[in-house]
Each structure stands twice: as C-alpha cells, then as structure tokens.
C-alpha cells in the first residue's frame, strides 16, 4: 500500500467541511440559557459524587479493564528470554 | 462564556488532524498518537456538551473515555514493541503478519 497524501488531504478536508457545516447549520437554540453563575465553575466535587453514587458499576468495570490491559501490556512488552 | 460552536469547531479541527495523520503516516507510533488526538477531540465534545446542558454526566463520560484511552495506548505500544522486537521494523506497510 502506498500512501497517497493529496488524496488523504482531500478526504480530510471533505470530512472537516461536512462536520463544520453540520455544526454551524444546526441551531443550538438554547445557547442563551448557559449557566452564568461563577460559583458553578468548580465541579470536581460533583464529578466525584456522580462517580461514586450513580456510576459506581461502570467505574469498577473500568478499573478492572484498566488493570487487565496493563497486565497484558506488561506481558507483551516483556522479552521472551526472561518469561 | 464561549459559545458552544467554538468548542465543536476546535474538536472537528483536532479530529481532522488526527484523521490525516492516521491516513498518511506509516510509523505505528505516530498512528497511535494520531488516534489519541481523535479520542481527545471526542472528549472535548463531551465536556463541551456537558457544560452546555449544565449537567456533569458528560464530564464523567470523559473521565471514563480517558481511562479507556490509556488502556488502549498501553496495549498498542506493547504490541508495537513486541512487533519491533520480533521483526526489527516499525513501518506498518511492511508488516505482513496480521494479514491472511
């Protein structure tokens, strides 16, 4: 396979045009209702509460996935001579 | 407050840069880095819409997405390292071991 840079650039340009036209063509019609309260800017506490109340099960599953993938990565990256 | 459309435009630009890198580069490490760029643009969209709807669910999704990206990058770099150790090459166009 030989990479075709102009073709790739053309495809990416087309993709960008489609996404930008779609984003600008959509009427995000609640844009005037953005929260203006500066006290709402810090939300670390809210994220922590959400993770440990409403998203506990996905959080645990994700931790298991991360652990398994890291163990797999260590096994793959380890040389074959010292296994 | 920055309007939502600027975030969406920046995310589209980042995704396009990543897509161009994936399509043109032959080095596997560069391709993985470009995939990370595309994932980050998706995370930017999640956070932008989370702030736009004044909820926090999108930011939690972004945290999950970042953790999955870390797992994917670890496995991807390990696979590339194993391939480089076996075949002494990193150019993905010359590798034929994943074809049938």
The string of pLDDT tens digits covering residues A3-52 is 688 888 899 999 999 988 888 888 776 555 555 555 555 678 788 888 88
Structural domain tally of chain A?
1
B66 within some domain: yes
Count of domains in chain B? 1
Q: B69 vs chain A: nearest CA distance in angstroms?
A: 10
What CA–CA distances, in Å, run from B82 to A74, B22, B31, B32, B72? 11, 21, 16, 15, 15
Q: Residue A59: inside a domain, yes or no?
A: yes
Distance between CA atoms of residues A70 and A83, nearest Å: 17
**What CATH code is carried by the domain that includes residue B30?**
1.10.287.3510
- A68: containing domain: 54-82
Residues A1, B24 contacting (CB under 8 angstroms): no
SS (H, E, C) B6-73: HHHHHHHHHHHHHHHHHHHCCEHHHHHHHHHHHHHHHHHHHHHHHHHCCCCHHHHHHHHHHHHHHHHH
Total-model pTM: 0.76
The answer to whether residue A30 sits within a structural domain is no
In a domain, B99, yes or no: no
Any domain includes A61: yes
* Nearest residue in chain A measured CA to CA from B3: A31
CA of B15 vs chain A CAs: smallest distance (Å)? 8
Per residue in B30-73, pLDDT (tens digit) is 999 999 999 999 999 999 988 888 788 888 999 999 999 999 99
- The parent domain of residue B27 ranges over 2-92
Q: Is residue A5 part of a domain?
A: no
Residues of B whose CB is below 8 A from A62: 64, 67-68
Instruction: Report the complex ipTM.
Output: 0.71
* Residue B53 φ then ψ, to 5°: -90, 5
Nearest CA in chain A to B45: A23
Residue A82: closest CA among B75, B90, B85: B85
Specify if B98 maps to a domain: no
Q: Which residue of A has its CA nearest to B92?
A: A1
């Amino acid at each position: 396979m030989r990479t075709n840079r102009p073709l790739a650039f053309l495809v990416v340009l087309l993709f960008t045009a489609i996404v930008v036209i779609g984003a600008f063509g959509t009427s995000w019609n609640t844009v005037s209702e953005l929260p203006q309260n500066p006290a709402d800017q810090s939300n670390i506490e809210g994220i922590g509460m959400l993770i440990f109340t409403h998203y506990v099960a996905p959080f645990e599953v994700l931790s298991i996935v991360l652990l398994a993938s890291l163990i797999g990565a260590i096994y793959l990256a380890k040389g074959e001579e010292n296994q | 407050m920055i309007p939502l459309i600027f975030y969406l435009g920046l995310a589209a630009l980042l995704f396009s840069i990543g897509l161009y890198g994936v399509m043109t580069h032959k080095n596997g490490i560069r391709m993985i880095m470009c995939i990370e760029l595309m994932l980050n643009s998706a995370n930017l969209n999640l956070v932008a819409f989370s702030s736009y709807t004044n909820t926090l669910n999108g930011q939690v999704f972004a945290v999950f997405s970042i953790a999955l990206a870390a797992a994917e990058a670890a496995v991807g770099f390990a696979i590339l390292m194993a391939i480089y150790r076996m075949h002494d090459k990193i150019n993905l166009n010359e590798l034929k071991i994943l074809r049938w």
